[in-house]
Amino acid sequence: MQKNPLQATIATSMDDIRLAAQFLLERDDFLILCHQKPDGDTVGSAFALREALRSLGKRAQIACSDPFTPRYDFITGGEREPRRDFTPKTYVTVDVADTTLLGEKLDHLKANIDLAIDHHPSFTRYATVNVCCPWTASVGAILTAVLKEMGVSLNSYLATCLYTSLATDTGCFKYANTNREAHAIAAELVRHIPNLHEVNYRLFMLKSRARMQLEARVVSEAHFHRQGKIAVAVVSQAMMKELGAGEDDLDDIGTLMRCIEGVEVGVLMKETPNGRMKVSFRSAQHVNVSMIAQTFGGGGHRRASGCLMYGPAEEAERRIVEAVEQFYARLEAGETL
């Protein structure tokens, strides 16, 4: 068996990498499925895999319940809804923790998944072959090793797709999942990306005017509690309409709140068209926001979580602040949370 140097780097079981590679080499006529509301990881991984399989003379196509956003045009070539031109025989998911995340349009395929490649701790092993590496920063990082194992050499397109997956899931190498391994894989990938600065500009600097204005409104209208440690902001439907902002412009906007100095818990409430509140919690340090979201029937990670609440905003805010205060009280009483 050929030695795979990236295997050691991403600390993934060689069995997992080999299993995925052999499976992909043996099969043909693939449909690669993304999760709904596609992000850089699912898009980058799907297009990298499609390209790799096609380079081996196989047939592969991609499906997603929601159209791809213009932000990823440099990967999708502007294909908002990829063309489907043959009947697939092999179903593969990338970055899909559970079949409910396939979304409405792909829900009918949930019992047919042959191979799932994922990295979420909450992965539900719904496929015939399940390859999940929860310690890996992105699915693209796992795929980098899988493609190498398959004998596919990197070119600039493949490397750009895989880099997009890794760079977006680590928030441009800033989030807590960024480690030596993520940087080592990126170092391998960027050797093949001559226009790296352009890719980073598109992914991390370029924002629509509506998004910029939305950020300004969110920050200037935020309410602060507990001497500035808790920040709560609302994005209302009226605000979105006024600024001409779309669903796309809301992507990861919750993270903004914990970038304000002094803020330990950032809360962003997004009003949905049917009057509910989609709440995102972001923690800068020691508050476990997954516990706070659970109070309201939601969930997530220690530093990023979410839940769904009912309006009005003032009432939701009051209940949220109360829950965060209770958390602080338990922390100060010496509990380990």
- Rounded to a whole number of angstroms, the minimum distance from the CB of residue 289 to Mn ion is 19
Among 35-43, 58-66, 293-301, 302-310, the segment contacting Mn ion (CB under 5 A): 35-43
Q: Which residue is nearest to Mn ion (CB)?
A: 41
DSSP state of 102: G
Name residues contacting Mn ion, limited to 253-282 (CB under 5 A).
none
Q: How far is the CB of 168 from Mn ion (least distance, A)?
A: 8
Residue (6 or 46) nearer to Mn ion, CB: 46
User: Which residue among 41, 249, 264, 317 contacts Mn ion (CB under 5 A)?
Assistant: 41
Rounded to the nearest whole angstrom, what is the least distance from the CB of residue 137 to Mn ion in the complex? 8
Find the part of the chain contacting Mn ion (CB under 5 A) among 162-170, 212-220, 245-253, 326-334.
Answer: 162-170
Site string for Mn ion, 208-237 (x = CB under 5 A): ------------------------------
> Which residues have CB under 8 Å from 216's CB, separation 6+?
none
Who contacts 298 (Cβ-Cβ below 8 Å, separation ≥6)? Answer: 279, 305, 306, 307, 308
Distance CA 306, CA 171 (A): 18
Cβ 95 to Mn ion, closest distance in Å? 4
* Nearest-approach distance from CB 231 to Mn ion, in angstroms: 26
Q: Let me know if 297 is exposed, middle or buried by CB neighbors in 10 A (0-12, 13-18, 19+).
A: exposed
Confirm or reject binding of residue 169 to Mn ion (CB under 5 A).
Answer: yes
Is residue 118 a contact point for Mn ion (CB under 5 A)? no
Site string for Mn ion, 77-116 (x = CB under 5 A): ------------------x---------------------
Angstrom distance (rounded) from CA 174 to CA 54: 33
Do 319 and 326 contact (CB within 8 A), yes or no?
Answer: no
Q: Least distance (Å) from Mn ion to the CB of residue 164?
A: 11
Nearer to Mn ion, 139 or 284 (CB): 139
Q: Please, what is the minimum distance in Å from the beta carbon of residue 155 to Mn ion?
A: 23
List the one residue out of 279, 281, 236, 225 whose CA is nearest residue 258: 281
Alpha-carbon dihedral 231, 37, 165, 203, rounded to 10 degrees: -60
Alpha-carbon dihedral angle through residues 116, 117, 120, 126, given to the nearest 10 degrees: 10
First to last CA, the chain: 46
- Alpha-carbon span 9 to 237, nearest angstrom: 45
* Binding region for Mn ion (CB under 5 A): 41, 95, 169
